[in-house]
Amino acid sequence: MTREFELEIIKSVLDGNIEAFESLVRAYEKTVYNLALRMTGSVEDAQDMTQETFIKAYRSLHTFRADSRFSVWVYRIASNVCRDFLRAKSRRAAVSLTVGEEGEECELEICDDSASVDRALTDSLTRDAMRRGLEALGEDQRQILLLREINGLSYDEIAATLELEIGTVKSRIFRARKKLCTFLLRDGNIPDEFASLHKEGGA
Amino acid sequence: MKDCEHWQEMMSCMIDGELDKAELEALKTHIAGCPECAALFEAFSSVSTELGKLEEPPESVAPRVMYAIRGKKKNPWVRILPLAACLAVAIFFGVRKTAPDIIHDSDSGYSATFSAAPETKPPDTERQAAANSGTESEDSATGSENLKTDEQGKEECKSAVTPPVQNIESAVKPSPTPALPAVTPDNAYTTAPESTAKPDSDDAGDGGTTVLMDAQQIAALIRMIGAPDNAPVPDIEAEPDYSLALISGGRIIDVEIYIIGDTVYVDMGGGLFTASCTADELREFISGAHK
């Protein structure tokens, strides 16, 4: 769907053609659902969050400004809906690494055995492992990484969406990504020799 | 390694396509000579690929979203459908607590009643009525235990059905067509003699004979007739073909089902809407539920 067409649809909806909104739902529900799925870790919750996202989007459509992509705007809503949901359920991740603006501590070790890393990831990146890894990131890191990886937002768009500096976006995504990789490697599905090397590295 | 931190952050940017050409070349040179960064880059790439694999949603949310934003009469199924999984839990409770003696198929653990209108009342109508009222629940401890076994149940659902979930069951009362087998509580799963059902009173609970229907079937039925659809509906003056009563914690949701041609219309008191299944599919399902 081109941006121009999207804007036409939005105008049509705002002019009273409610039915036109359905094409926007269908265009973005898959990515919104996957964002919600990765955020909540539950198919049922993800569906509920997807539904809520679009209902909220419709109700606040008049506030949408054409200077950003509709998708970016919707993903922001989805992201907030999921965060609100998680907070309401007090289901925070077990480990929340608070990432500051600059240079905070982040104890992560990566083994230098690229074959092992690749094999470990290939073998163990199951959905469940990924879910646990994402949970371990904490909300802030999970949110920013998913906006990039699932929704494909650029750093500029993420910065605008989350009201952060570009440098902060870059730093947070890097730390989230690195921590997720480390978590997945530590998750018990890696070869013994690699695990021992990893342990020796002080992880 | 601390020295490589800068390069590693650049690798993350590279994965995201956020490097310019000069940065890219410099990074590639570094990666070629640094095994640690090369390993991390592989890991970044693998994770990125994995995260980028999108799953198909189980079903589109578009119908539910559109129904909600149209601002028309609230479709109660929008509320009921997400609870389908929880109904299984609740149904298990209800039947186990209120009418354990009529359960023949305890293997599944989930059961509910499914009633058809007979020519005569079942011999144990009073007992069934008492069961429907949900006033008998001596086995609450068992019920709690069972609920805990369903750890995957959603919290909201649990709270929705947990407070005194005394009985949830589905009673479907067919009008003249189609002829359904009449069964009594005692032969629910074992025999299904044919009978010619005829219209009964408005009270589905009192008039119908009862067979057992497991929770999976209940959920399937809800999915069949529950899909919200805003297709135009006709004015229907006929008597409903089926009456369905969902009973939960003393609250009864009455559902009337009409069949016009091959189309199934459903009324939950909030207005008529078109079900997703065809008339034949519904009849086939109901017949199957008696077997």
> Is the pLDDT assigned to residue B189 strictly greater than 70?
no
- Confidence category of residue B77, pLDDT binned at 50, 70, 90: low
> How confident is the model at residue B91, as a pLDDT?
35
A84-119 pLDDT per residue, tens: 888 877 544 433 333 344 444 444 444 444 454 444
> Is the pLDDT assigned to residue B33 strictly greater than 80?
yes
Segment A164-185 mean pLDDT: 92
Q: Is B273 within 8 Å of B232 (Cβ atoms)?
A: no
Question: In whole numbers, what is the pLDDT of chain A averaged over residues?
Answer: 77
Interfacial residues of B (vs A; Cβ cutoff 8 Å):
8-9, 12-13, 15-16, 18, 35-36, 38-40, 42-44, 46-48, 50-52, 54-62, 64-66, 68-70, 82, 85, 154-155
**Interchain pair B9, A110: CB under 8 A:** no
> How many percent of chain A have pLDDT more than 70?
73
- Best B12, B34, B56, B159 member to test A by mutation, with max A CBs in 10 Å, is B12
Q: Please give the interface size between A and B, counted as residue pairs whose CB atoms are below 8 Å apart.
A: 134
- Nearest residue, CB atoms, A110 vs list B12, B40, B155: B40
- Confidence category of residue B284, pLDDT binned at 50, 70, 90: confident
What are the phi and psi torsion angles at B167 (to 5°)? -165, 130
A110-134 pLDDT per residue, tens: 444 445 444 444 444 456 778 888 8
- Confidence category of residue B266, pLDDT binned at 50, 70, 90: confident
CA-wise closest residue to A111 among A202, A11, A21: A202
The span from the first CA to the last CA of chain A, in angstroms, equals 46
Q: Which residue has the higher pLDDT, A55 or B261?
A: A55
**Spatial separation of the C-alpha atoms in residues B257 and B173, rounded to whole Å:** 10
Q: Which residue has the higher pLDDT, B167 or B71?
A: B71
B20 exposed, middle or buried (CB, 10 Å; 0-12, 13-18, 19+)? exposed
Lowest mean pLDDT segment, chosen from A197-201, B210-214, B281-285: A197-201
Segment B72-77 mean pLDDT: 47
> Is the pLDDT assigned to residue A59 strictly greater than 70?
yes
Highest mean pLDDT among A87-91, B102-106, B121-125: A87-91
- Best A177, A187, A190 member to test B by mutation, with max B CBs in 10 Å, is A177
Distance from CA of A53 to the nearest CA of B (A): 9
- Confidence category of residue B235, pLDDT binned at 50, 70, 90: low
HEC readout, chain A: CCHHHHHHHHHHHHCCCHHHHHHHHHHHHHHHHHHHHHHHCCHHHHHHHHHHHHHHHHHCHHHCCCCCCHHHHHHHHHHHHHHHHHHHCCCCCCCCCCCCCCCCCCCCCCCCCHHHHHHHHHHHCCHHHHHHHHHHHCHHHHHHHHHHHCCCCCHHHHHHHHCCCHHHHHHHHHHHHHHHHHHHHCCCCCCHHHHHHHHHCCC
Write the ipTM.
0.71
Lowest mean pLDDT segment, chosen from A160-174, B136-150, B179-193, B238-252: B179-193
> How confident is the model at residue B270, as a pLDDT?
59
**Interchain pair B42, A150: CB under 8 A:** no
Taking each helix axis from N to C terminus, what angle separates A114-124 and B35-51, rounded to the nearest 10 degrees? 20
Segment A165-178 mean pLDDT: 95
Contacts of A38 in chain B (CB under 8 A): 51
Q: Does A113 touch chain B (CB under 8 A)?
A: yes
Q: What is the DSSP letter of B12?
A: H
Distance from CA of B32 to the nearest CA of A (A): 12
Q: Where are the beta strands (DSSP E) in chain B?
A: 113-116, 168-174, 209-212, 242-248, 251-260, 263-267, 272-278
- Nearest residue, CB atoms, B60 vs list A29, A117, A125: A29
- Best B3, B7, B34, B40 member to test A by mutation, with max A CBs in 10 Å, is B40
> Is the pLDDT assigned to residue B179 strictly greater than 70?
no
